[in-house]
């Protein structure tokens, strides 16, 4: 399916869509504040288009979508709702991973009547996940010798001085994301990537950084599947376990020997 564009809330969003028009809409929400795109989600979930109408898209300021501010959790969540309304009048299945999981949680809390099922992959219910990731990184620095705890705290969980710095730090940290690392593939992925330091920095600003849904998880009404790798370093499993405990109709599935990717 070719890349398409739609105007949503003043932004031009890039998306791919496939599946029967009368099938339930499945919206995938990608990870990566300021650098993620829909591409990996599309590759992973497009096979479900035999039974679902699958849509994967780039958030504003990400990938091939327009760099239209503001870059806030609320704005992206409102974009998701407007996108759903554009393609269906029914509830949708919402599937979010990592940062996309943060957004999926906020969406399901803000628009409970818009979600028929919720799927969360390797995510967290609050910014306290950052503290957990820093602890895990201290035990795995040998996997990424060009990365550091300071880079995680001050850059990844802070602010980048430029798109280039963002790209270089991302390349340095990639060995941490999988149990079997392919350096050549990682380089090509970073070269293809779109890095927007402005979007990243805004989404890690004090107004956005300290998200915390823990007290509102009971408001999620949709049946929820929470999936996490038992070796996830940046959203360690304790975060998914907490979500599954607090969401009324949630199930937890822990994948053995799997990391964040």
Q: Tell me: the pLDDT tens digits for 198-250?
A: 999 999 999 999 999 999 999 999 999 999 999 999 999 999 999 999 999 99
Contact by Cβ (8 Å): 224, 117: yes
Average pLDDT of the segment spanning 135-163: 98
Q: Is the domain of 117 the same as that of 221?
A: yes
95 Rama sector, left if φ>0, alpha if ψ -120 to 50, beta otherwise: beta
**261: in domain:** no
Q: Is the domain of 105 the same as that of 224?
A: yes
Q: Is the domain of 17 the same as that of 95?
A: yes
Q: What is the mean pLDDT of the chain?
A: 97
Q: Tell me: the pLDDT tens digits for 28-78?
A: 999 999 999 999 999 999 999 999 999 999 999 999 999 999 999 999 999
Q: What is the pTM of this model?
A: 0.97
Output b/e per residue, 139-174; b: 16+ Cβ within 10 A.
eeeebbeebbeebbeebbbebbeebeebbbbbbbbb
Looking at the 3D structure of the chain, how many domains does it have? 2
Q: Is the domain of 102 the same as that of 19?
A: yes
Q: Is the domain of 189 the same as that of 118?
A: no
The owner of tokens 């850059």 is 155
CATH number at residue 237: 3.40.50.1820
The owner of tokens 């969401």 is 247
Q: Is the domain of 101 the same as that of 123?
A: yes
**249: in domain:** yes
**235: in domain:** yes
Residue 169 lies in domain: 129-203
Residue 101 three-state SS: helix
**260: in domain:** no
Q: Is the domain of 47 the same as that of 82?
A: yes
Q: Is the domain of 23 the same as that of 85?
A: yes
């Amino acid at each position: 399916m070719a890349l398409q564009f739609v105007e949503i809330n003043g932004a031009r969003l890039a998306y791919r869509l496939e599946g029967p028009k009368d099938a339930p809409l499945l919206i995938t929400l990608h990870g990566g504040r300021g650098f993620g795109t829909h591409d990996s989600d599309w590759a992973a979930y497009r096979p479900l288009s035999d039974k679902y109408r699958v849509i994967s898209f780039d958030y504003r300021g990400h990938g091939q979508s327009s760099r239209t501010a503001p870059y806030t959790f609320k704005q992206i969540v409102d974009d998701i709702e407007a996108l759903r309304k554009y393609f269906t009048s029914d509830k949708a299945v919402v599937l979010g991973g990592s940062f996309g999981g943060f957004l999926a949680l906020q969406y399901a809390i803000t628009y409970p009547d818009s979600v028929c099922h919720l799927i969360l992959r390797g995510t967290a219910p609050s910014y306290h996940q950052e503290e957990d990731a820093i602890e895990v990184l201290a035990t795995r620095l040998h996997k990424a010798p060009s990365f550091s705890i300071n880079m995680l705290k001050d850059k990844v969980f802070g602010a980048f001085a430029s798109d280039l710095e963002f790209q270089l730090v991302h390349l340095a940290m990639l060995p941490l994301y999988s149990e079997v690392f392919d350096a050549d593939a990682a380089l090509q992925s970073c070269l293809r990537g779109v890095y927007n330091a402005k979007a990243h920095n805004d989404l890690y600003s004090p107004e956005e950084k300290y998200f915390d849904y823990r007290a509102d998880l009971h408001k999620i009404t949709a049946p929820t599947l929470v999936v996490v790798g038992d070796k996830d370093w940046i959203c360690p499993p304790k975060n998914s376990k907490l979500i599954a405990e607090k969401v009324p109709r949630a199930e937890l599935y822990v994948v053995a020997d799997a990391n964040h990717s």
